[in-house]
Amino acid sequence: MDFEVRKVRKAHGPVKLRRERERYFLLVRQGLSNKEASRLVGVNERTGREWRNGRSDPARFRAPAQQGRAPVAASSGRYLRDDERLHIADRLREKATIRAIAAELGRSPSTVSREIHRNRTTDPRGQWHYRPHAAQARADARRPRPKTGKIARNAELRDFIQQHLALRWSPEQICNALRAQFPDRPEMHVVHETVYQALYVQGRGELRREVTRALRSGRARRRPQRQAASR
C-alpha cells in the first residue's frame, strides 16, 4: 500500500493534507463512507465531511496576490466531470460569480447556472447548498439511456396529440393548444420538436404509425435539411 497514516499526530495545516485529501476522495469514489474513508487516511470525520461537501482544495490555499488559481483541465465532453463540480463548489464558497466560474472551466455561464439549480441541495430551512458529490449522484441518476419519452409516459397527452393530428393540426398548433388548455399542468406541455420526434422515430412507438400521414407535409419520414455548401 503506497499510503500510510502519519505517525506524528499534530496540526499540519491545509496544504500538508493534500495527500490525505486525494486518498480520501479515491476511497469515497470506491464506495466507502465518510467515517471509513476518514479513518483510513487518518483525519477527523468533520474534516472528511468538509472535503466531501466542497471545501476548497488544499493545493489552492495560497495568497491570491502571489499566485493565481490552479487551472482546471479543459473539458472536451458534453457533461460536467466530477472535478468540475468540485471546482464549482469551491468557487461558490469563495463567492465567485457564475460567469467567473464558467470562464475558469471553459463552459457557458448557462451551463454552470443550470448545473447549480438542477443539482443543488436544499435544507429544511429552505437554504440551498451545492454539494459536488450529491450533484454528481443526481446527474448520474438522470443520465441512463434509453429513456421513455414524455409522450409515451402520458396517455392523456398522447391521445390529445393523436386526436388533433387527425384533425390536420400542425405540431406547433397542438403545442400552443396544450399550453392554453392546461396552463397549470407542465406534464401536458411539450415543444413541437418532441411531437416530430415521436412521429418520425417509429421505434419508440409513441404515436401510431398511421397518424404520421396526417401531417400537412404528408411525409412519413423526415427530410434532412440541405447544408449551405450543397446548395
Q: Indicate the average pLDDT of the chain.
A: 76
Residue 65 lies inside a defined structural domain of this protein: no
**pLDDT tens-place string over residues 15-29:** 567 788 888 888 887
**Range of 202's domain?**
150-214
Q: What is the pLDDT of residue 143?
A: 76
Q: What is the pLDDT of residue 9?
A: 52
| 130: confidence class by pLDDT, cuts 50, 70, 90 | very high
Q: What's the 3-state SS for the chain?
A: CCCCCCCCCCCCHHHHCHHHHHHHHHHHHCCCCHHHHHHHHCCCHHHHHHHHCCCCCHHHCCCCCCCCCCCCCCCCCCCCCHHHHHHHHHHHHCCCCHHHHHHHHCCCHHHHHHHHHHHCEECCCCCEECCHHHHHHHHHHHCCCCCCCHHHHCHHHHHHHHHHHHCCCCHHHHHHHHHHHCCCCHHHCCCHHHHHHHHHCHHHCCCCHHHHHHCCCCCCCCCCCCCHHHC
Residue 166 lies inside a defined structural domain of this protein: yes
User: Do 182 and 154 share a domain, yes or no?
Assistant: yes
CATH number at residue 129: 1.10.10
Q: What is the pLDDT of residue 54?
A: 62
**pLDDT tens-place string over residues 44-81:** 888 888 777 765 444 443 334 334 455 555 545 678 88
Structural domain count of the chain: 3
Across residues 122-140, what is the average pLDDT?
A: 87
User: Do 137 and 78 share a domain, yes or no?
Assistant: yes
Per-range mean pLDDT, top range of 26-35, 80-89, 137-146: 80-89
Across residues 140-165, what is the average pLDDT?
A: 83
pTM of the shown model: 0.42
User: Do 48 and 92 share a domain, yes or no?
Assistant: no
Q: What is the pLDDT of residue 43?
A: 84
Residue 224 lies inside a defined structural domain of this protein: no
